[in-house]
Amino acid sequence: MIKVILITFGFSAILAFTLGGLLALFQEIFKVVRDPKVGAVRAALPGVNCGGCGYPGCDGYAEAVAAGNAPVTKCAPGGKDAAERLAAIMGVNAASESVVAVLLCRGTKAVAPAKGEYVGIPTCRASKLSAGSVKLCAFGCQGFGDCVNVCKFDALSMGDDGLPHVDYSKCSGCGMCAQECPQLLFAMTPKARVGSVVLCSNRAVVKATVLKTCKVGCIKCDACVKNCPEQCIAMVNGIPVTDYAKCTNCGICVQKCPTKCYRLLDGVKTDVEVVETAAAV
């Protein structure tokens, strides 16, 4: 009996030693050499894992940066400081500009009528797929708050007016709201930008159609284009677009707009402030 136990023990020891040796050999043969830069890049990131960079979390972005497949300026929560840290690790120059989300719609419940009662899945994406739009304005905010649900920084909230409102003291500029919005209503705007912006995405070209669907929509009257002293505004696909390299922030377009859908972006004073005229919609 003792002999059987000893033989079994010996055989088990030999088998364990052999398997251990083979595992060590295979690990050495098939090991993946990890670039030490990956760890350094990962440590330089804020660890929010928001996905705003377009990669699967900070780990995915770190690997892409270390491999030279992604720019060092894609981390919105980290901003300029993170970009500079990554640039130092990678030996490149960083040119990062902090951005915030601006909603290009003023179609509140009071001015943008609903088509009727919507009884489908209560999400913006579902309503767009099933009904085209819950509002008469096919270009406006659907009001179900998909953007609010994906914001990881508590920077968005749905107002009583049926529109999402941005808290610019919390907005990191990650861009998740812009990616989630099926109507493409969020513009990721540099905090330091100066000039005019149209808070409307209604591309209908007939004035009567616009006013029927939204009382504060852009009616394509060209008043802004014709009266701009710098000639820096042009109609592009039914929406006035400003050339910010020429815009002097004079405000004439704001004054001349009959539906008052223009606002001025006057830049920011601190990292957490954004111009109130851009936020007040």
Mean pLDDT within 161-175 = 90
Q: Which domains does the chain have, with CATH numbers?
A: 36-90 (1.10.15.40), 99-279 (3.30.70.20)
Phi, psi of 233 (to 5 degrees): -115, 135
**Token output for 155:** 């920077």
**Token output for 62:** 């770190």
Cα Dmax for the chain:
105
Cα distances from 130 to residues 29, 120, 156, 182, in angstroms, run 54, 8, 25, 13
**Token output for 125:** 């994406």
- Closest Cα partner for 78 from 63, 95, 105, 98? 98
Tell me: the pLDDT tens digits for 2-61? 766 767 766 677 767 777 676 766 666 655 545 678 889 899 998 888 877 878 889 888
Tell me: the pLDDT tens digits for 45-54? 988 888 778 7
Residue 272 confidence (pLDDT): 33
Return d(Cα 168, Cα 143) in angstroms, integer: 20
Return d(Cα 29, Cα 25) in angstroms, integer: 6
Residue 96 has pLDDT above 90, yes or no: no
Q: Would you say the pTM of this structure is higher than 0.75?
A: no
Element of type H or E holding 225:
helix 223-227
Residues forming beta bridges with residue 196, ordered by sequence position: 264
Cα distances from 245 to residues 1, 3, 153, 196, in angstroms, run 93, 91, 32, 12
Confidence grade of residue 177 (pLDDT, cut at 50, 70, 90)? very high
